[in-house]
């Protein structure tokens, strides 16, 4: 009784993919906003152009089963997705008051967060408004991630464009999403996936939380975003170095992100999420299939004293191995660490994706041509508090950072850009440099850490004395790296133990409070221990 048209309108019923299971979980947990709802604002020069767009989109929905799919879970042993034979588009009208900024109001609506029910297909909803001041019509489009990924959105627009151009013969036969579900369910079993992630994560005993950000962030309404196109020189250097090493640019970007995370956490072993394309091991025609093929899985990276060149190749090998498990369940993978709360295994994400480059993006005040839609702005959210996307435009590279509002996304981009520059420098000039010695701090970040952040007012309290703070840090993160002395790494626990041994030696020598002790040591571990 919850399906429009009743049982006669039901075409198929089957299970969810591992990614869909995770998206449904976050949809249910986030009661106010939905972290996986994609939003866009589109402009049309005439109402006729808008109606033609809707007509073409309805034809695309009629072609593809995943676009006619709804999701049901209440009263069921496990969730299921139901494919309808027919599902009509849902459109709401918005009427602005005279003189109001229609585009600004609609874009605030997109940014403020939104929810749509997953039990009513199609999971693409629209709000339409006239913008007489700019002689156009505006359309807000919301599409749920549970029915499609980044590639799906692009494929939908490609098919709409072909239909608007009266070229339906160019459209190829649709690929049922059921085929992908059958492949995932019949592929490498959970035992094989579990064995792989246990090898990767079994000795990971602390979460990786850069900038001290922990936990998943449901809703995404309070996130901030920044983007930047990297210089053509850096783009060329990274691609050249990747070819020389026999790795991908994606591998170098993952290594750079690992270096940033290691520096921001003080950890040698870091874990972060990576978004996998999901179509590489799928069917031969999966590049033109619609549906949520992507997946997010943990990737471990050890930023050690190994050669940077070796670490680059190791990152490439790790990604290649992970792709073999690209349809594993994220929740299962996270349970393979020894952490008591596996959901806290990592709090940051990297997404390397190939994107069509638009050199001149439209603004909210630009007017579209009368016969074609113009994408004014779009937004996609995640439930992670920190995410960096590397946009590969083919001839250019871009960075997009999303973070919770307490962390500047521009600062994140600065760190990533500088890490990529330094990685290119090292791989070109001194590839045998230990990876953990590559400097990833931009000059402004270094000045802030050494000068601004160290400013203090008034007398220090007992709780802020250096030895007290060091002991607290040693108790909280005993395996975090405290001292790098040449090619040797020392953890907080090791330095604290050495300091305690030296303290007992001094006590045995009748040294107590207010006694002056001279320190004569080269710059290194024992100088820090003595302090």
Question: What is the share, in percent, of the chain residues with pLDDT greater than 70?
Answer: 89
**SS3 state at 42:** strand
Rounded CA separation 21/37 (Å): 15
Task: Give 368's pLDDT tier (boundaries 50, 70, 90).
Answer: very low
Question: Using CA atoms, how far apart are residues 515 and 113, in angstroms rounded to an integer?
Answer: 61
* Mean confidence (pLDDT) of the chain: 86
Two tokens at 408?
Answer: 């500047």
Whether the Cβ atoms of residue 322 and residue 251 lie closer than 8 Å to each other:
no
Helix (H) or strand (E) holding 177: helix 177-186
Q: Cβ distance 39 to 114 under 8 Å?
A: yes
Size of the chain in residues: 531
Tell me what pLDDT residue 365 has. Answer: 43
Confidence (pLDDT) at 404 = 87
Q: Which two tokens stand for residue 490?
A: 């020392």
- Structure token digits, residue 281: 């091991």
What's the pLDDT at 280?
Answer: 57
- Between the CA of residue 468 and those of 211, 290, 472, 491, what are the distances in Å? 21, 57, 6, 16
DSSP readout, 259-315? HHHHHHHT-SEEEEEEEE-S-SSS-TTGGG--S---EEEEEEEE--SSBHHHHHHHH
* For residues 278-283, average pLDDT: 59
Residue 189, pLDDT > 70, answer no
3 state SS of 125: strand
Which residue has better confidence, 316 or 521? 316
Q: pLDDT: is 352 or 363 the higher one?
A: 352
Average pLDDT over residues 202-228: 79
Structure tokens, 429: 């000039």
Helix (H, G, I), strand (E, B) or coil at 44: strand
Which of 17-26, 270-279, 309-318, 450-459: highest mean pLDDT? 309-318
Choice between 454 and 157, residue whose per-residue pLDDT is larger: 157
Indicate whether this model's pTM tops 0.95. no
pLDDT on residue 362: 40
Percent residues over pLDDT 90 in the chain: 48
Backbone φ and ψ for 212, nearest 5 degrees, come out as 70, 15
**Each residue's pLDDT tens digit, 37-93:** 888 899 999 999 999 999 999 999 999 999 999 999 988 889 999 999 999 999 999
Q: What is the DSSP string of 131-167?
A: EGGGTEEEEEEEEEGGG--HHHHHHHHHHHHHHHTT-
Q: pLDDT value at position 456?
A: 64
Q: pLDDT per residue over 397-416, tens digit each?
A: 999 999 988 889 999 999 99
Res. 279: pLDDT tops 60: yes
- DSSP bridge pairs for 95: none
What value does the mean pLDDT take over residues 504-525?
A: 89
Instruction: Name the CA dihedral angle for 9, 183, 348, 483, rounded to a multiple of 10 degrees.
Output: 170
Strand partners, 176: none
Tokens 């972060």, residue located: 272
Query: Nearest to residue 126, comparing CAs of 51, 225, 64, 29?
Result: 51
Give the angle 208-212-213 at the CA atoms, nearest 5°. Answer: 80
> What gap in Å lies between CA 164 and CA 524, rounded to an integer?
69
What is the pLDDT averaged over residues 160-166?
92
**One-character DSSP codes across 230-273:** PPHHHHHHHHHHHHHHT--HHHHHHHHHHHHHHHHHT-SEEEEE
Q: Which pLDDT score, from 0 to 100, does residue 228 have? A: 95
Structural contact between residues 114 and 96, judged by C-beta atoms closer than 8 angstroms: no
> ω into residue 227 within 30 of 0, thus cis?
no
CA angle 503, 506, 509 (to 5 degrees): 155
Q: How far is CA 192 from CA 173, 298, 324, 328, 498, in A?
A: 34, 16, 10, 9, 43
Look at residues 267, 323, 270 and name the one whose alpha carbon lies nearest to residue 297.
Answer: 323
pLDDT surpassing 90 at residue 106: no
3-state secondary structure of 503: helix
Mean pLDDT of 416-423: 97
- pLDDT tens readout for residues 239-262: 999 999 999 999 999 999 999 999
């Amino acid at each position: 009784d919850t399906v429009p048209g009743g049982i006669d309108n039901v075409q198929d019923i089957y299970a969810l993919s591992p990614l869909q299971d995770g998206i449904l979980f976050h949809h249910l947990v986030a009661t106010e906003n939905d972290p996986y709802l994609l939003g866009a604002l589109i402009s049309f020069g005439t109402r006729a152009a808008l109606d033609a767009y809707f007509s073409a989109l309805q034809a695309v929905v009629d072609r593809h089963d995943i676009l006619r799919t709804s999701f049901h879970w209440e009263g069921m042993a496990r969730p299921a997705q139901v494919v309808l034979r027919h599902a009509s588009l849902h459109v709401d009208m918005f009427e602005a008051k005279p003189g109001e900024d229609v585009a600004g109001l609609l874009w605030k609506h997109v940014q403020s967060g939104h929810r749509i029910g997953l039990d009513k297909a199609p999971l693409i909803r629209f709000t339409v408004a006239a913008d007489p001041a700019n002689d156009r019509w505006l359309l807000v489009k919301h599409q749920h991630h549970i029915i499609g990924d980044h590639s799906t959105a692009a494929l939908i627009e490609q098919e709409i464009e072909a239909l608007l151009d009266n070229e339906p013969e160019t459209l190829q036969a649709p690929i049922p999403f059921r085929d992908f579900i059958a492949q995932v369910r019949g592929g490498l079993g959970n035992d094989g996936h579990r064995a792989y992630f246990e090898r990767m994560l079994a000795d990971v005993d602390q979460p990786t939380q850069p900038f001290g950000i922990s936990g998943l962030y449901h809703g995404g309404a309070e996130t901030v975003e920044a983007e930047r196109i990297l210089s053509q020189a850096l783009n060329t250097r990274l691609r050249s170095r990747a070819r020389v090493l026999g790795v991908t640019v994606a591998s170098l970007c993952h290594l750079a992100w690992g270096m940033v995370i290691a520096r921001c956490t003080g950890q040698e072993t870091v874990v972060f999420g990576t978004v996998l394309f999901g179509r590489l091991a799928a069917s031969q025609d999966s590049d033109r299939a619609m549906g949520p093929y992507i997946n997010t899985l943990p990737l471990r990276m050890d930023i050690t004293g190994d050669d940077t060149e070796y670490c680059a190749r190791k990152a490439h090998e790790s990604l290649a191995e992970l792709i073999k498990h690209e349809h594993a369940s994220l929740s299962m993978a996270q349970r393979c660490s020894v952490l008591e709360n596996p959901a806290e295994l990592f709090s940051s994400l990297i997404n390397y994706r190939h994107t069509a480059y638009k050199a001149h993006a439209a603004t909210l005040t630009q007017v579209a041509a009368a016969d074609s839609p113009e994408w004014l702005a779009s937004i996609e959210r995640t439930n992670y508090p920190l995410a960096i996307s590397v946009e590969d435009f083919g001839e250019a590279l871009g960075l997009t950072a999303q973070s919770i509002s307490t962390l500047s996304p521009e600062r994140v981009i600065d760190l990533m850009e500088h890490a990529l520059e330094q990685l290119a420098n090292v791989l070109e000039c001194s590839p045998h440099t230990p990876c953990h010695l590559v400097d990833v701090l931009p000059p402004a970040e270094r000045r802030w850490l050494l000068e601004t952040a160290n400013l203090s007012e008034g007398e220090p309290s007992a709780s802020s004395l250096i030895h007290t703070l060091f002991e607290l840090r040693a108790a909280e993160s005993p395996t975090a790296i405290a001292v790098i002395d040449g090619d040797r790494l020392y953890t907080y626990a090791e330095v604290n133990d050495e300091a305690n041994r030296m303290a007992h030696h001094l006590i045995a020598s009748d040294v107590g409070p207010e006694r002056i002790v001279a320190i004569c040591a080269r710059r290194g571990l024992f100088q820090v221990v003595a302090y």
